[in-house]
Amino acid sequence: MVPFIAKKDKKVAAFLVAIAKKESNWGVYSPKKRGRTCYNYWEYRGPENPTRSGYSCFVSPRQAVNVVGRRIKNLVAQKVDTPREMVLWKCGDACTRSGARGEAKWVRDVGFYFEKVL
């Protein structure tokens, strides 16, 4: 996926890398469908060929990076541009109300890799 990620805006690329590390350990734990990989390293849920558990199943690394990258780019354009703000990736706006879902650890872990890429 590196060639596709490298073509993205630096902040988008940093989130792609950091969230993939946190959510799937860079693909070690990612959804499969009918025994094949879905290239979904971000726990992204969208309309793209969903698995039984609701995660998008992409046909290629390029499609995965483009779809997830576009979602991240849209969030960054709305000023969701720090790991603390991007925690909504984990649990939506419930994060701002709950405090009990591990958001602080998510922010720390994503922030660690996000800063390395930036």
Which tokens in the block code for residue 101? Answer: 């879902």
Residue 30 CA to residue 83 CA, distance in Å, equals 21
pLDDT tens digits along 87-115 = 989 877 677 555 556 788 999 999 999 99
pLDDT tens digits along 7-64 = 999 999 999 999 999 999 999 999 999 999 999 999 999 999 999 999 999 999 999 9
Would you kindly state where each structural domain of the chain is located, as residue ranges? 2-117
Q: Is this model's pTM higher than 0.85 or not?
A: yes
DSSP string, 28-92: TS--EETTEE----S---SSSS--TTS----SSHHHHHHHHHHHHHHHHHTT--SHHHHTHHHHG
1 pLDDT above the threshold of 90: yes
pLDDT of residue 18: 98
